[in-house]
Structure 1
Protein backbone atom coordinates (compact mmCIF):
# COMPACT_ATOMS: atom_id res chain seq x y z
CA UNK A 1 0.00 0.00 0.00
CA UNK A 2 1.13 3.52 -0.76
CA UNK A 3 -0.10 6.61 1.03
CA UNK A 4 0.01 10.16 -0.24
CA UNK A 5 1.52 12.92 1.87
CA UNK A 6 -1.96 14.30 2.60
CA UNK A 7 -3.14 10.86 3.81
CA UNK A 8 -0.09 10.50 6.07
CA UNK A 9 -0.57 14.02 7.41
CA UNK A 10 -4.22 13.36 8.22
CA UNK A 11 -3.53 10.01 9.88
CA UNK A 12 -0.50 11.12 11.91
CA UNK A 13 -1.38 14.69 12.79
CA UNK A 14 1.91 15.87 11.28
CA UNK A 15 1.42 18.63 8.74
CA UNK A 16 2.42 18.08 5.12
CA UNK A 17 4.82 21.01 5.52
CA UNK A 18 6.56 19.26 8.43
CA UNK A 19 6.70 15.98 6.49
CA UNK A 20 8.44 17.83 3.67
CA UNK A 21 10.84 19.29 6.24
CA UNK A 22 11.57 15.79 7.57
CA UNK A 23 12.37 14.79 4.01
CA UNK A 24 14.61 17.80 3.45
CA UNK A 25 16.75 17.01 6.52
CA UNK A 26 16.89 13.29 5.71
CA UNK A 27 14.82 12.22 8.70
CA UNK A 28 11.92 10.68 6.79
CA UNK A 29 12.31 10.09 3.07
CA UNK A 30 9.23 9.01 1.08
CA UNK A 31 9.20 5.54 -0.50
CA UNK A 32 9.25 7.29 -3.86
CA UNK A 33 8.45 10.62 -5.46
CA UNK A 34 6.30 10.56 -8.61
CA UNK A 35 7.17 12.45 -11.76
CA UNK A 36 4.64 15.09 -10.82
CA UNK A 37 6.46 15.65 -7.48
CA UNK A 38 3.92 13.85 -5.30
CA UNK A 39 5.43 12.06 -2.29
CA UNK A 40 4.26 8.53 -1.47
CA UNK A 41 4.89 6.60 1.72
CA UNK A 42 4.81 2.89 2.48
CA UNK A 43 4.61 0.72 5.59
CA UNK A 44 8.31 1.12 6.51
CA UNK A 45 8.06 4.90 6.32
CA UNK A 46 4.97 4.90 8.53
CA UNK A 47 6.76 2.76 11.12
CA UNK A 48 9.70 5.17 11.02
CA UNK A 49 7.32 8.09 11.47
CA UNK A 50 5.85 6.36 14.54
CA UNK A 51 9.33 6.16 16.10
CA UNK A 52 9.98 9.80 15.26
CA UNK A 53 6.75 10.89 16.96
CA UNK A 54 7.47 8.74 20.02
CA UNK A 55 10.94 10.21 20.42
CA UNK A 56 9.55 13.71 19.90
CA UNK A 57 7.04 13.15 22.71
CA UNK A 58 9.93 12.05 24.93
CA UNK A 59 11.59 15.39 24.29
CA UNK A 60 14.36 14.53 21.84
CA UNK A 61 15.31 17.08 19.20
CA UNK A 62 15.31 16.27 15.50
CA UNK A 63 19.11 15.93 15.38
CA UNK A 64 19.04 13.47 18.28
CA UNK A 65 16.22 11.52 16.66
CA UNK A 66 18.19 11.36 13.43
CA UNK A 67 21.17 9.92 15.32
CA UNK A 68 18.96 7.34 17.02
CA UNK A 69 17.34 6.25 13.76
CA UNK A 70 20.71 6.12 12.03
CA UNK A 71 21.79 3.78 14.86
CA UNK A 72 24.67 6.05 15.77
CA UNK A 73 23.35 5.88 19.31
CA UNK A 74 20.83 3.62 20.96
CA UNK A 75 17.44 4.88 22.03
CA UNK A 76 18.26 4.14 25.66
CA UNK A 77 21.44 6.24 25.50
CA UNK A 78 19.58 9.12 23.85
CA UNK A 79 16.84 8.96 26.45
CA UNK A 80 19.37 8.90 29.29
CA UNK A 81 20.90 12.07 27.89
CA UNK A 82 17.45 13.63 27.61
CA UNK A 83 16.67 12.58 31.19
CA UNK A 84 19.85 14.25 32.42
CA UNK A 85 18.85 17.45 30.63
CA UNK A 86 15.36 17.32 32.11
CA UNK A 87 16.78 16.85 35.60
CA UNK A 88 19.08 19.84 35.09
CA UNK A 89 16.09 21.90 33.97
CA UNK A 90 14.10 20.72 36.99
CA UNK A 91 16.91 21.81 39.33
CA UNK A 92 17.02 25.20 37.59
CA UNK A 93 13.26 25.60 37.93
CA UNK A 94 13.44 24.53 41.59
CA UNK A 95 15.96 27.32 42.20
CA UNK A 96 13.71 29.82 40.41
CA UNK A 97 10.69 28.66 42.41
CA UNK A 98 12.62 28.95 45.67
CA UNK A 99 13.70 32.48 44.78
CA UNK A 100 10.17 33.54 43.85
CA UNK A 101 8.74 32.01 47.03
CA UNK A 102 11.37 33.78 49.12
CA UNK A 103 10.61 37.10 47.40
CA UNK A 104 6.90 36.68 48.08
CA UNK A 105 7.69 35.94 51.73
CA UNK A 106 9.97 39.00 51.94
CA UNK A 107 7.26 41.24 50.51
CA UNK A 108 4.67 39.76 52.88
CA UNK A 109 6.95 40.28 55.89
CA UNK A 110 7.69 43.84 54.78
CA UNK A 111 4.01 44.78 54.52
CA UNK A 112 3.15 47.88 56.55
CA UNK A 113 -0.34 47.49 57.97
CA UNK A 114 -0.31 50.71 60.01
CA UNK A 115 1.59 53.39 58.04
CA UNK A 116 1.08 56.13 60.67
CA UNK A 117 2.59 54.00 63.41
CA UNK A 118 5.34 52.79 61.05
CA UNK A 119 6.50 56.29 60.13
CA UNK A 120 6.44 57.40 63.77
CA UNK A 121 8.61 54.40 64.65
CA UNK A 122 10.86 55.13 61.68
CA UNK A 123 11.56 58.63 62.99
CA UNK A 124 12.34 57.28 66.45
CA UNK A 125 14.61 54.54 65.12
CA UNK A 126 16.27 57.00 62.76
CA UNK A 127 17.16 59.35 65.60
CA UNK A 128 18.60 56.44 67.62
CA UNK A 129 20.64 55.20 64.65
CA UNK A 130 21.98 58.71 64.01
CA UNK A 131 23.25 58.86 67.59
CA UNK A 132 24.85 55.44 67.17
CA UNK A 133 26.55 56.47 63.93
CA UNK A 134 27.81 59.72 65.45
CA UNK A 135 29.15 57.98 68.55
CA UNK A 136 30.74 55.15 66.54
CA UNK A 137 32.04 56.92 63.45
CA UNK A 138 31.98 60.64 64.17
CA UNK A 139 30.02 63.58 62.81
CA UNK A 140 30.87 62.75 59.17
CA UNK A 141 28.92 59.50 59.34
CA UNK A 142 26.03 61.24 61.08
CA UNK A 143 25.89 63.78 58.26
CA UNK A 144 25.89 60.94 55.73
CA UNK A 145 22.99 59.42 57.67
CA UNK A 146 21.15 62.75 57.38
CA UNK A 147 21.80 62.76 53.61
CA UNK A 148 20.38 59.25 53.33
CA UNK A 149 17.30 60.22 55.32
CA UNK A 150 16.77 63.35 53.21
CA UNK A 151 16.87 61.19 50.07
CA UNK A 152 13.95 59.23 51.51
CA UNK A 153 11.67 62.25 51.68
CA UNK A 154 8.56 61.58 49.66
CA UNK A 155 8.94 57.80 49.68
CA UNK A 156 5.63 55.98 49.96
CA UNK A 157 4.70 53.03 52.12
CA UNK A 158 5.13 50.80 49.07
CA UNK A 159 8.64 52.20 48.57
CA UNK A 160 9.59 51.28 52.12
CA UNK A 161 8.07 47.84 51.74
CA UNK A 162 10.12 47.31 48.58
CA UNK A 163 13.32 48.51 50.27
CA UNK A 164 12.69 46.25 53.26
CA UNK A 165 12.17 43.27 50.95
CA UNK A 166 15.43 44.06 49.15
CA UNK A 167 17.24 44.25 52.48
CA UNK A 168 15.77 40.94 53.57
CA UNK A 169 16.86 39.37 50.28
CA UNK A 170 20.41 40.66 50.84
CA UNK A 171 20.58 39.15 54.31
CA UNK A 172 19.13 35.92 52.98
CA UNK A 173 21.85 35.71 50.32
CA UNK A 174 24.49 36.33 52.96
CA UNK A 175 22.95 33.64 55.16
CA UNK A 176 22.98 31.20 52.23
CA UNK A 177 26.71 31.79 51.79
CA UNK A 178 27.27 31.31 55.50
CA UNK A 179 25.28 28.06 55.54
CA UNK A 180 27.25 26.79 52.56
CA UNK A 181 30.20 26.52 54.93
CA UNK A 182 32.12 29.57 53.71
CA UNK A 183 34.31 31.14 56.35
CA UNK A 184 33.95 34.92 56.74
CA UNK A 185 37.38 35.37 55.12
CA UNK A 186 36.62 33.17 52.08
CA UNK A 187 36.34 34.83 48.63
CA UNK A 188 32.70 33.72 48.34
CA UNK A 189 31.89 35.51 51.60
CA UNK A 190 33.75 38.65 50.52
CA UNK A 191 31.95 38.64 47.16
CA UNK A 192 28.60 38.50 48.98
CA UNK A 193 29.59 41.28 51.39
CA UNK A 194 30.41 43.45 48.35
CA UNK A 195 26.65 43.91 47.85
CA UNK A 196 26.32 45.08 51.46
CA UNK A 197 29.21 47.51 51.02
CA UNK A 198 27.65 48.83 47.80
CA UNK A 199 24.37 49.58 49.58
CA UNK A 200 26.21 51.45 52.35
CA UNK A 201 28.37 53.34 49.84
CA UNK A 202 25.31 54.74 48.08
CA UNK A 203 25.26 57.59 50.62
CA UNK A 204 28.49 57.21 52.55
CA UNK A 205 32.01 56.18 51.55
CA UNK A 206 33.33 54.65 54.78
CA UNK A 207 37.01 54.09 55.30
CA UNK A 208 38.16 50.52 55.86
CA UNK A 209 38.26 51.20 59.58
CA UNK A 210 34.79 52.72 59.62
CA UNK A 211 33.29 49.89 57.56
CA UNK A 212 34.82 47.31 59.91
CA UNK A 213 33.31 49.20 62.83
CA UNK A 214 29.96 49.22 61.05
CA UNK A 215 30.20 45.43 60.86
CA UNK A 216 30.73 45.35 64.60
CA UNK A 217 27.27 46.87 65.06
CA UNK A 218 25.79 43.54 64.00
CA UNK A 219 27.20 42.21 67.27
CA UNK A 220 26.46 45.13 69.56
CA UNK A 221 23.48 47.10 68.26
CA UNK A 222 20.12 45.40 68.86
CA UNK A 223 18.49 46.94 65.77
CA UNK A 224 21.24 45.88 63.38
CA UNK A 225 21.56 42.48 65.01
CA UNK A 226 17.83 41.84 64.67
CA UNK A 227 17.82 42.71 60.96
CA UNK A 228 20.46 40.08 60.23
CA UNK A 229 19.12 37.51 62.71
CA UNK A 230 15.80 37.38 60.85
CA UNK A 231 17.63 35.60 58.03
CA UNK A 232 19.53 33.30 60.40
CA UNK A 233 20.30 33.58 64.14
CA UNK A 234 23.96 32.84 63.41
CA UNK A 235 24.26 35.52 60.74
CA UNK A 236 25.01 38.62 62.88
CA UNK A 237 28.30 37.27 64.29
CA UNK A 238 29.35 35.77 60.94
CA UNK A 239 28.48 38.95 59.07
CA UNK A 240 30.42 41.11 61.51
CA UNK A 241 33.52 39.00 60.88
CA UNK A 242 32.91 38.96 57.10
CA UNK A 243 32.60 42.75 56.98
CA UNK A 244 35.80 43.10 59.01
CA UNK A 245 37.52 40.73 56.58
CA UNK A 246 36.16 42.67 53.60
CA UNK A 247 37.49 45.93 55.04
CA UNK A 248 40.87 44.34 55.64
CA UNK A 249 41.18 42.47 52.34
CA UNK A 250 39.43 44.71 49.84
CA UNK A 251 39.30 48.24 51.20
CA UNK A 252 42.81 48.70 52.62
CA UNK A 253 45.10 49.88 49.77
CA UNK A 254 48.14 47.70 48.99
CA UNK A 255 51.37 48.68 50.70
CA UNK A 256 53.00 51.58 48.89
CA UNK A 257 49.75 52.82 47.31
CA UNK A 258 47.48 55.55 48.50
Structure 2
Protein backbone atom coordinates (compact mmCIF):
# COMPACT_ATOMS: atom_id res chain seq x y z
CA UNK A 1 0.00 0.00 0.00
CA UNK A 2 1.21 3.51 -0.75
CA UNK A 3 0.97 6.41 1.69
CA UNK A 4 -1.72 6.03 4.36
CA UNK A 5 -2.41 9.77 4.10
CA UNK A 6 -4.04 11.57 1.17
CA UNK A 7 -4.35 15.34 0.85
CA UNK A 8 -7.76 16.23 -0.57
CA UNK A 9 -7.48 19.32 -2.72
CA UNK A 10 -3.74 19.16 -2.16
CA UNK A 11 -3.87 20.28 1.46
CA UNK A 12 -6.57 18.53 3.52
CA UNK A 13 -4.81 15.48 4.95
CA UNK A 14 -6.91 12.43 5.84
CA UNK A 15 -6.23 8.75 6.38
CA UNK A 16 -7.08 6.85 3.23
CA UNK A 17 -9.45 4.36 4.87
CA UNK A 18 -12.51 6.25 6.08
CA UNK A 19 -16.03 5.50 7.27
CA UNK A 20 -19.43 5.86 5.61
CA UNK A 21 -22.17 6.80 8.09
CA UNK A 22 -25.16 6.03 5.85
CA UNK A 23 -25.99 2.75 7.63
CA UNK A 24 -26.22 4.28 11.11
CA UNK A 25 -29.84 4.30 12.36
CA UNK A 26 -30.72 7.72 13.76
CA UNK A 27 -34.20 7.14 15.21
CA UNK A 28 -34.49 7.40 19.03
CA UNK A 29 -34.00 4.11 20.85
CA UNK A 30 -31.39 1.36 21.36
CA UNK A 31 -30.35 1.35 17.69
CA UNK A 32 -29.41 5.03 17.93
CA UNK A 33 -27.24 4.33 20.97
CA UNK A 34 -25.41 1.68 18.97
CA UNK A 35 -24.94 4.19 16.13
CA UNK A 36 -23.41 6.71 18.52
CA UNK A 37 -21.06 4.03 19.82
CA UNK A 38 -20.00 3.02 16.30
CA UNK A 39 -19.24 6.62 15.32
CA UNK A 40 -17.23 7.15 18.50
CA UNK A 41 -15.32 3.92 17.96
CA UNK A 42 -14.39 5.05 14.44
CA UNK A 43 -13.00 8.23 15.97
CA UNK A 44 -11.10 6.25 18.62
CA UNK A 45 -9.54 4.06 15.94
CA UNK A 46 -8.16 7.10 14.13
CA UNK A 47 -10.62 7.53 11.27
CA UNK A 48 -10.24 11.07 9.93
CA UNK A 49 -12.72 10.98 7.02
CA UNK A 50 -16.42 10.34 7.69
CA UNK A 51 -19.00 10.54 4.90
CA UNK A 52 -22.62 11.59 5.35
CA UNK A 53 -25.29 13.40 3.32
CA UNK A 54 -28.40 15.53 3.62
CA UNK A 55 -30.36 12.61 2.16
CA UNK A 56 -29.38 10.24 4.98
CA UNK A 57 -32.36 10.75 7.24
CA UNK A 58 -32.89 14.23 5.77
CA UNK A 59 -30.28 15.69 8.08
CA UNK A 60 -30.71 13.23 10.94
CA UNK A 61 -27.44 11.46 10.10
CA UNK A 62 -25.56 14.75 10.28
CA UNK A 63 -27.13 15.47 13.67
CA UNK A 64 -26.21 12.00 14.89
CA UNK A 65 -22.55 12.47 13.99
CA UNK A 66 -22.44 15.83 15.76
CA UNK A 67 -24.00 14.30 18.89
CA UNK A 68 -21.45 11.50 18.84
CA UNK A 69 -18.32 13.43 17.99
CA UNK A 70 -18.65 17.12 18.80
CA UNK A 71 -16.39 18.79 19.82
CA UNK A 72 -14.38 17.26 16.98
CA UNK A 73 -10.78 16.17 17.38
CA UNK A 74 -8.23 18.04 15.30
CA UNK A 75 -7.99 16.64 11.79
CA UNK A 76 -11.41 14.97 11.63
CA UNK A 77 -13.19 15.71 8.34
CA UNK A 78 -16.92 15.10 8.03
CA UNK A 79 -17.88 15.42 4.39
CA UNK A 80 -21.53 15.80 3.47
CA UNK A 81 -23.51 15.85 0.24
CA UNK A 82 -26.33 18.07 -1.05
CA UNK A 83 -28.57 18.09 -4.11
CA UNK A 84 -31.18 15.43 -3.26
CA UNK A 85 -34.53 16.48 -1.79
CA UNK A 86 -37.68 14.76 -0.56
CA UNK A 87 -40.50 14.19 -3.02
CA UNK A 88 -43.95 12.63 -3.20
CA UNK A 89 -42.73 10.06 -5.73
CA UNK A 90 -42.49 6.34 -5.01
CA UNK A 91 -38.77 6.75 -4.36
CA UNK A 92 -39.44 9.51 -1.86
CA UNK A 93 -36.63 11.66 -3.23
CA UNK A 94 -35.60 13.59 -6.31
CA UNK A 95 -32.68 15.47 -7.80
CA UNK A 96 -32.87 19.10 -6.78
CA UNK A 97 -29.74 21.18 -7.30
CA UNK A 98 -31.33 24.56 -7.77
CA UNK A 99 -29.02 27.16 -6.23
CA UNK A 100 -31.46 28.16 -3.47
CA UNK A 101 -31.99 24.50 -2.51
CA UNK A 102 -28.26 23.80 -2.40
CA UNK A 103 -27.66 26.87 -0.26
CA UNK A 104 -30.44 25.88 2.11
CA UNK A 105 -29.12 22.35 2.52
CA UNK A 106 -25.61 23.67 3.19
CA UNK A 107 -26.91 26.11 5.80
CA UNK A 108 -28.77 23.27 7.52
CA UNK A 109 -25.67 21.07 7.40
CA UNK A 110 -23.56 23.76 9.02
CA UNK A 111 -26.08 24.03 11.86
CA UNK A 112 -26.53 20.27 12.29
CA UNK A 113 -22.81 19.50 12.19
CA UNK A 114 -22.09 22.52 14.47
CA UNK A 115 -19.38 23.90 12.21
CA UNK A 116 -18.79 27.21 10.44
CA UNK A 117 -17.28 25.59 7.38
CA UNK A 118 -17.71 22.24 5.60
CA UNK A 119 -14.21 21.26 4.55
CA UNK A 120 -15.43 18.98 1.75
CA UNK A 121 -18.91 19.37 0.25
CA UNK A 122 -20.03 17.04 -2.53
CA UNK A 123 -22.87 17.43 -5.02
CA UNK A 124 -24.82 14.22 -4.43
CA UNK A 125 -26.03 14.01 -8.02
CA UNK A 126 -25.95 16.36 -10.99
CA UNK A 127 -29.50 17.60 -11.55
CA UNK A 128 -30.40 17.18 -15.25
CA UNK A 129 -33.02 19.95 -14.96
CA UNK A 130 -30.55 22.64 -13.83
CA UNK A 131 -27.62 23.94 -15.91
CA UNK A 132 -24.39 22.53 -14.52
CA UNK A 133 -22.87 26.00 -14.31
CA UNK A 134 -25.71 27.10 -12.01
CA UNK A 135 -25.32 24.10 -9.72
CA UNK A 136 -21.56 24.41 -9.37
CA UNK A 137 -21.73 28.18 -9.37
CA UNK A 138 -23.88 28.04 -6.24
CA UNK A 139 -21.33 25.83 -4.52
CA UNK A 140 -18.50 28.11 -5.65
CA UNK A 141 -20.34 31.09 -4.11
CA UNK A 142 -20.57 29.22 -0.81
CA UNK A 143 -16.88 28.46 -1.11
CA UNK A 144 -16.09 32.14 -1.69
CA UNK A 145 -18.13 32.99 1.41
CA UNK A 146 -16.00 30.60 3.47
CA UNK A 147 -18.82 28.18 4.23
CA UNK A 148 -17.34 25.45 2.02
CA UNK A 149 -13.68 24.53 1.78
CA UNK A 150 -13.55 22.17 -1.20
CA UNK A 151 -16.07 20.97 -3.78
CA UNK A 152 -16.62 17.38 -4.85
CA UNK A 153 -19.00 15.43 -7.09
CA UNK A 154 -20.83 12.14 -6.71
CA UNK A 155 -21.76 9.54 -9.33
CA UNK A 156 -20.46 11.39 -12.37
CA UNK A 157 -19.33 10.19 -15.79
CA UNK A 158 -16.01 10.93 -17.42
CA UNK A 159 -17.68 13.62 -19.55
CA UNK A 160 -19.48 15.22 -16.61
CA UNK A 161 -16.27 15.37 -14.61
CA UNK A 162 -14.48 17.01 -17.53
CA UNK A 163 -17.25 19.61 -17.86
CA UNK A 164 -17.30 20.29 -14.13
CA UNK A 165 -13.55 20.85 -13.96
CA UNK A 166 -13.94 23.72 -16.43
CA UNK A 167 -16.23 25.47 -13.92
CA UNK A 168 -14.74 24.70 -10.47
CA UNK A 169 -11.75 23.01 -8.91
CA UNK A 170 -12.98 19.48 -8.21
CA UNK A 171 -11.38 18.05 -5.07
CA UNK A 172 -13.15 14.68 -4.95
CA UNK A 173 -15.35 12.23 -6.80
CA UNK A 174 -17.59 9.71 -5.04
CA UNK A 175 -18.64 6.99 -7.49
CA UNK A 176 -19.76 3.38 -7.13
CA UNK A 177 -16.65 1.23 -7.53
CA UNK A 178 -15.29 -2.06 -6.22
CA UNK A 179 -13.19 -5.06 -7.17
CA UNK A 180 -15.89 -6.43 -9.47
CA UNK A 181 -17.53 -3.14 -10.40
CA UNK A 182 -15.07 -1.04 -12.38
CA UNK A 183 -17.45 0.78 -14.68
CA UNK A 184 -15.93 4.10 -13.62
CA UNK A 185 -12.31 3.18 -14.35
CA UNK A 186 -12.03 6.11 -16.83
CA UNK A 187 -13.21 8.49 -14.10
CA UNK A 188 -10.69 7.00 -11.67
CA UNK A 189 -7.92 7.44 -14.26
CA UNK A 190 -8.80 11.13 -14.60
CA UNK A 191 -8.80 11.53 -10.83
CA UNK A 192 -5.43 9.84 -10.54
CA UNK A 193 -3.88 12.04 -13.22
CA UNK A 194 -5.25 15.20 -11.60
CA UNK A 195 -4.70 14.23 -7.96
CA UNK A 196 -8.45 14.21 -7.25
CA UNK A 197 -9.63 12.05 -4.34
CA UNK A 198 -11.77 9.11 -5.44
CA UNK A 199 -14.18 7.87 -2.75
CA UNK A 200 -15.73 4.57 -3.87
CA UNK A 201 -19.15 3.91 -2.45
CA UNK A 202 -20.32 0.31 -2.02
CA UNK A 203 -16.61 -0.66 -1.96
CA UNK A 204 -17.14 -4.21 -0.65
CA UNK A 205 -20.28 -5.18 -2.58
CA UNK A 206 -18.28 -7.83 -4.45
CA UNK A 207 -16.71 -9.31 -1.33
CA UNK A 208 -18.77 -12.53 -1.50
CA UNK A 209 -17.19 -13.62 -4.80
CA UNK A 210 -15.62 -17.08 -4.60
CA UNK A 211 -12.10 -16.04 -5.64
CA UNK A 212 -12.08 -13.17 -3.13
CA UNK A 213 -13.16 -15.60 -0.41
CA UNK A 214 -10.35 -17.96 -1.45
CA UNK A 215 -7.72 -15.24 -1.23
CA UNK A 216 -9.15 -14.15 2.11
CA UNK A 217 -8.85 -17.69 3.49
CA UNK A 218 -5.23 -17.87 2.35
CA UNK A 219 -4.46 -14.62 4.18
CA UNK A 220 -6.53 -15.40 7.28
CA UNK A 221 -8.61 -12.31 6.49
CA UNK A 222 -12.22 -11.54 5.60
CA UNK A 223 -13.41 -11.04 2.01
CA UNK A 224 -14.28 -7.44 2.89
CA UNK A 225 -10.73 -6.83 4.12
CA UNK A 226 -9.32 -8.23 0.89
CA UNK A 227 -11.62 -6.01 -1.17
CA UNK A 228 -10.61 -2.90 0.78
CA UNK A 229 -6.91 -3.75 0.70
CA UNK A 230 -7.13 -4.19 -3.07
CA UNK A 231 -8.76 -0.77 -3.44
CA UNK A 232 -6.02 0.87 -1.38
CA UNK A 233 -3.39 -0.77 -3.58
CA UNK A 234 -5.16 -0.19 -6.90
CA UNK A 235 -4.75 3.59 -6.93
CA UNK A 236 -3.11 6.11 -4.59
CA UNK A 237 -6.11 8.46 -4.90
CA UNK A 238 -8.69 5.89 -3.71
CA UNK A 239 -10.16 6.62 -0.26
CA UNK A 240 -12.63 3.81 0.58
CA UNK A 241 -15.50 4.71 2.93
CA UNK A 242 -17.02 1.37 3.96
CA UNK A 243 -20.15 1.71 6.05
CA UNK A 244 -21.51 -0.45 8.84
CA UNK A 245 -23.76 -0.23 11.85
CA UNK A 246 -21.68 -2.67 13.92
CA UNK A 247 -18.49 -2.09 15.88
CA UNK A 248 -17.04 -5.51 15.06
CA UNK A 249 -17.49 -4.92 11.33
CA UNK A 250 -15.99 -1.44 11.69
CA UNK A 251 -12.90 -2.86 13.38
CA UNK A 252 -12.57 -5.57 10.73
CA UNK A 253 -12.84 -3.05 7.91
CA UNK A 254 -10.24 -0.70 9.35
CA UNK A 255 -7.81 -3.60 9.84
CA UNK A 256 -7.68 -3.86 6.03
CA UNK A 257 -5.24 -0.95 6.05
CA UNK A 258 -2.61 -3.36 7.40
CA UNK A 259 -3.37 -6.31 5.10
CA UNK A 260 -0.57 -7.10 2.66
CA UNK A 261 -1.45 -8.45 -0.78
CA UNK A 262 1.52 -9.99 -2.56
CA UNK A 263 1.94 -9.75 -6.37
CA UNK A 264 0.36 -13.17 -6.96
CA UNK A 265 -2.75 -12.25 -4.99
CA UNK A 266 -2.98 -8.90 -6.73
CA UNK A 267 -2.74 -10.55 -10.14
CA UNK A 268 -5.57 -12.95 -9.31
CA UNK A 269 -7.75 -10.13 -7.98
CA UNK A 270 -6.98 -7.79 -10.89
CA UNK A 271 -8.21 -10.42 -13.34
CA UNK A 272 -11.56 -10.85 -11.59
CA UNK A 273 -13.10 -7.95 -13.48
CA UNK A 274 -12.25 -9.67 -16.77
CA UNK A 275 -14.10 -12.79 -15.66
CA UNK A 276 -17.07 -10.75 -14.44
CA UNK A 277 -17.36 -9.01 -17.81
CA UNK A 278 -17.16 -12.23 -19.86
TM over 0.5: no
Q: TM-score, normalising length from structure 1? A: 0.23
More strand by share: 2
Q: TM-score, normalising length from structure 2? A: 0.22
Structure number with greater CO (CA < 8 Å, separation at least 6) is 2
More helix by share: 1
